[in-house]
Amino acid sequence: MQALIDIILPVFLVIGLGYLVAWRGVLGDASMDGLMAFTQKIALPLLLFRAIWTLDLGQSFSIPLLISYYTGSLTCFVAGLLGARFLFHRPWEESVVIGFCCLFANSVLLGIAITERAFGSDALTANYAIIAFHSPFCYGLGISVMEFVRARSAGQRNRDVPLIVAKAMFRNALVIGIAFGVAFNLLDITLPEPVTVALDMVVRTALPAALFALGGVLYRYRPEGDMRVILYVCAISLILHPGITWGLAASFPLDDAAFRSAVLTAAMAPGINGYIFANMYGRARRVAASSVLLATGMSIITVWLWLGTLP
pLDDT attached to residue 155: 62
**pLDDT band with cut points at 50, 70 and 90 for residue 2:** low
User: Of 86-95, 205-214, 269-278, where does the model show the most confidence?
Assistant: 86-95
C-alpha 226/C-alpha 233 separation (Å) is 11
pLDDT attached to residue 199: 95
**Number of compact structural domains in the chain:** 1
pLDDT attached to residue 1: 55
Write out the residue range of the structural domain in which residue 122 sits.
2-307
- CATH number at 119 reads 1.20.1530.20
Residue type, 60: S
Is pLDDT of 143 > 60? yes
Given 3-state DSSP classes, what are the helix, strand and coil percentages for the chain, each rounded to the nearest 5?
80, 0, 15
Identify which has the larger pLDDT, 28 or 108: 28
Q: What is the mean pLDDT of residues 289-299?
A: 87
Identify which has the larger pLDDT, 310 or 58: 310
Q: Measuring CA to CA, how many Å separate 67 from each of 102, 136, 240, 309?
A: 17, 15, 15, 20
Is pLDDT of 305 > 80? yes
Q: What is the mean pLDDT of residues 121-135?
A: 88
C-alpha 33/C-alpha 38 separation (Å) is 9
Using CA of residue 211, residue 246, residue 278, residue 292, what is the dihedral sign? negative
pLDDT attached to residue 4: 62
What are 155-177's pLDDT values in tens digits? 666 666 677 777 777 777 888 88
Contact 78, 268 (CB under 8 A): no
pLDDT attached to residue 148: 84
User: Of 21-25, 108-112, 120-124, where does the model show the most confidence?
Assistant: 21-25
What are 78-120's pLDDT values in tens digits? 999 999 999 999 999 999 999 999 999 989 878 988 999 889 8
**pLDDT band with cut points at 50, 70 and 90 for residue 144:** confident
**pLDDT band with cut points at 50, 70 and 90 for residue 269:** very high
Q: What is the mean pLDDT of residues 222-250?
A: 91
pTM equals 0.84
Is pLDDT of 138 > 70? yes
pLDDT attached to residue 15: 86
pLDDT attached to residue 17: 94
Q: What is the mean pLDDT of residues 23-47?
A: 90
